[in-house]
Structure 1
Amino acid sequence: MTRTLPQPGRDDLDIVKVLHALADPVRLELIHALSQETEPAVCSLDAYDVDVSAPTLSHHWRVLREAGLTTTFVNGRNRWVEIRREDLAARFPGLLESVLAGYEHRPS
């Protein structure tokens, strides 16, 4: 049985919390990686090119979810995550696209 972890509703998304979550380089990398996926992605450490421990990665996923950027699905011991594109676009039109474009064009 799949369940969804708690997250804010669309109308409860707060721009300060969203921008705070995106301000961290690891979380921004995770959002960028998720933006390339067409299906919910697994939350495992080896699935992403980030140099953090498993507990730290879990913390970053939680911050993204609690800010309203992602939805996390749980089935047994497995977790999948996806970006809440529709909710973000409805609440903050163009924000996600602008952040992702800025990420892709940042200096190396």
Structure 2
Amino acid sequence: MATTARPAIRVLPEPPGLPEPLPEPAAADLRLETVFGALSGPLRLEIVRRLLLEREEFDHPCGWFGFDRPKSSLTHHFKALREAGVLRQRQYGLERRSEVRIDDLNARFPGLIDLVAGWEPDAS
């Protein structure tokens, strides 16, 4: 029986002096149906997956992803992920940067992060 290797999730140390996070639900208040709702679209899944597997810094602005979408559309998707408790966002001047709430999601929903990291977009 063959097993597939799990993708390596990139965990980077929190740098000192970070701005306070934008409002988000407490870890104890995360609800699976809300998280699933936020992850229900392929673009949002791709955002989270790339932050888990490809991040180069502790957190990233939406421009890092290189999506060819209007800024207002991307803002909506990032806000939905933050309000569901999937992402943590911080304001750096005019820029918002995002990271996945790995520890909180692993504590509430063991295995979910590995599922998202292992998801691959449909090539069709």
Please state whether the residue corresponding to 1:26 is helix, strand or coil.
helix
Q: Per-residue CA shift, 1:22-42, capped at 9, x if unaligned?
A: 111111111111112151112
Partner residue, 1:18? 35
Q: Per-residue CA shift, 1:69-88, capped at 9, x if unaligned?
A: 01001121121110000000
**TM-score (ref. length: structure 2):** 0.77
Q: Are 2:29 and 1:9 aligned?
A: no
Distance apart, 1:107 and its partner CA: 4.1
Partner residue, 1:39? 58
Q: Tell whether the 8 Å contact from 2:49 to 2:116 is kept in structure 1 after alignment.
A: no
**Is 74-83 or 1-10 further displaced after alignment?**
1-10
1:12-91 to 2 correspondences below 5 Å: 12-35=29-52, 36-37=54-55, 39-44=58-63, 47-91=64-108
Runs of 4+ in 1 over 6 A off after TM superposition: none
Distance apart, 1:98 and its partner CA: 1.2
Q: Tell whether the 8 Å contact from 1:73 to 1:81 is kept in structure 2 after alignment.
A: yes
Unaligned runs of 5+ in 1: none
| Aligned mates of 1:99, 1:25 — CA distance in 2 | 11
Instruction: Provide the aligned length of Structure 1 versus Structure 2.
Output: 104
| Aligned mates of 1:49, 1:17 — CA distance in 2 | 26
Partner residue, 1:96? 113
| Aligned mates of 1:107, 1:56 — CA distance in 2 | 21
Please state whether the residue corresponding to 1:39 is helix, strand or coil.
coil
CA RMSD of aligned residues (A): 1.6
**TM-score (ref. length: structure 1):** 0.87
Code of the aligned partner of 1:83: V
| Aligned mates of 2:34, 2:68 — CA distance in 1 | 24
Structure holding more helix per residue: 1
Please state whether the residue corresponding to 1:74 is helix, strand or coil.
strand
Code of the aligned partner of 1:14: R
